Amino acid sequence: MTLYEWFRRLTFPIMPVHLQTVHKDIKALVLKTRKSKEPIKILDVGGRKSPYTIGIPASVALLDVPQEHAVQEQLGLGFTDSILTGLQQKRSNISELIIQDMTASTLEPDQYDAVVSIEVIEHVEADALFVHHIAQVIKPGGWAYFTTPNGDYIKNEGPDKNPDHVRHYTKKELQSLMERYFDRVEVHYAVATGKYRLWGLKSFKLKKPWRLVKSVAGNIINSYESRHVADRPVKTGHLVAVGYKD
């Protein structure tokens, strides 16, 4: 592992709960899937600088669209040449970097053991085509792991509307969409929202020790708040969905 990866792993316990949850879930799914000493192959769709697969015992291919406009840059979406170069230097489990739109995928079917797509599908206009192509590249016995804002609680409208979000899904809507392309689907709510979650989402700044302490405290408290929210549609910030391909 690189120095960057060691640092990220050491700081996971004080990072935002969404990051902790996703990393833990993916690692557990990988360990269940892995049947030999060879690492399984994961496609991280929309991964860009994705910290979610850092340290995961897998061969990870990152796929994202090219970064072409200011909104993408502001929201941390898309690839540029400098991002690609930086990732190759920082990450030891990255096997491939792919620049393309998953809704127009040219990837061969049954290539990957798993796909992860974290906070991406809400940005995609052709969501059914997006999920279809993801399911297509997964080998039989594989899985896809998605997260997205919880549309049962967080509405993408009014003054807080995110300009790059096409929609926010309810649990029922996301379940229905994924059941069209996967044999088994599990969807649940994840991460309590509220002031402590918002504290934790503030970036760490060593030059501002009070802000650093507040962010860490927010993440620790939010981790405690989020222990039993899987069936709670209100006051939760994200949905987690796993689709299995038999």
pLDDT digits (tens, 9 = 90+) for 188-242: 999 999 999 999 988 766 677 888 899 999 999 999 999 999 999 999 999 999 9
What integer pLDDT is reported at residue 229 of this predicted model?
A: 97
Q: Concatenated DSSP letters for 136-188?
A: HHEEEEEEEEEEEEBTTT----GGG--TT----B-HHHHHHHHHTT-SEEEEE
Q: Quick check: is 219 in a domain? A: no
Q: Quick check: is 107 in a domain? A: yes
Q: Quick check: is 201 in a domain? A: no
Kindly list the distances between the CA atom of residue 186 and the CA atoms of 49, 56, 137, 178, 218, in Å, as whole numbers in the listed order: 26, 22, 20, 9, 29
Residue 134's nearest CA partner among 185, 83, 95 is 185
CATH number at residue 128: 3.40.50.150
The pTM for the full model equals 0.91
What integer pLDDT is reported at residue 97 of this predicted model?
A: 84
Compute the distance between CA of residue 134 and CA of residue 116 in angstroms, rounded to an integer: 9
As given in the structure block, the two tokens for residue 64 are 């994202």
What integer pLDDT is reported at residue 48 of this predicted model?
A: 64
The residue behind tokens 């708040």 is 225
Burial class (CB in 10 A: 0-12, 13-18, 19+), 53: buried
At 81-134, the pLDDT tens digits run 666 667 777 888 888 888 889 999 999 999 999 999 999 999 999 999 999 999
SS3 85: helix
Angular region, 2: left φ>0, alpha ψ -120 to 50, beta rest: beta
Q: Quick check: is 203 in a domain? A: no
SS3 101: coil
Q: Quick check: is 10 in a domain? A: yes
Tell me which DSSP letter residue 102 carries.
G
Q: Concatenated DSSP letters for 35-79?
A: -SSSPEEEEEET-TT--TTTT-SEEEEEEE-B--SHHHHHHT-SB
Q: Quick check: is 42 in a domain? A: yes
Range of 148's domain? Answer: 3-192+230-244
Compute the distance between CA of residue 232 and CA of residue 8 in angstroms, rounded to an integer: 30
At 142-186, the pLDDT tens digits run 999 999 999 999 988 887 788 889 999 999 999 999 999 999 999
What integer pLDDT is reported at residue 68 of this predicted model?
A: 65
Residue 150's nearest CA partner among 193, 180, 108 is 193
Q: Quick check: is 224 in a domain? A: no
Domain count, the chain: 1
Q: For the chain, how are helix, strand and coil distributed in percent, rounded to 5?
A: 40, 25, 35
